[in-house]
A = this chain, B = another copy of it.
Amino acid sequence: MEIRIGDLAKRSGCKVVTIRYYEKEGLLPKPARSGGNFRLYGEAHIERLQFIRHCRSLDMTLSEIRALLGLRDNPMQDCGEVNTLLEAHIQQVEMRVSALLQLKRHLVDLREKCSGSRSVEACGILQGLGNCNCHGESATNSQTSG
């Protein structure tokens, strides 16, 4: 009990500023304050913060985490939503992986193009980057002209 923010940071492997940020974002409830206006945390905060950090380590967004915390906070609800959320997240990760693998193929192709001429002017890589065969459809970003 009566843990100060620095100790909570050490216990959770999370920076002090990040803890305050989570509080501002409504993921962590506002803790009690000491006479000198320092935040004082208890066990529940530690556990909640570890939950958040674990979710973040799984690359969930703060709004996904907010949703999970909401489900956790009223445990009467149906468990199905948790599954749905996790399933959606797995699919996102899968899509990112396959996009990145395709990207890597492009890059490796490009690497082969260097003629070894030692002058930028004749570099096949730069030339390869110049003729734009693909058109706006990136691996990880999207941009459509309209």
Contacts and interface: CB of A to CB of B under 8 A. Distances in A.
Interface in A23-62: 47, 50-51, 53-59
Interface string A103-119: 11011101100101111
Given A76-B121, A83-B114, A141 B59 contact: yes
Given A14-B136, A123-B79, A55 B141 contact: no
Given A47-B130, A100-B96, A134-B57, A107 B83 contact: no
B126 A107 contact: no
Contacts of A12: 136, 145
Interface string A88-99: 011001101100
A81 B134 CA distance: 24
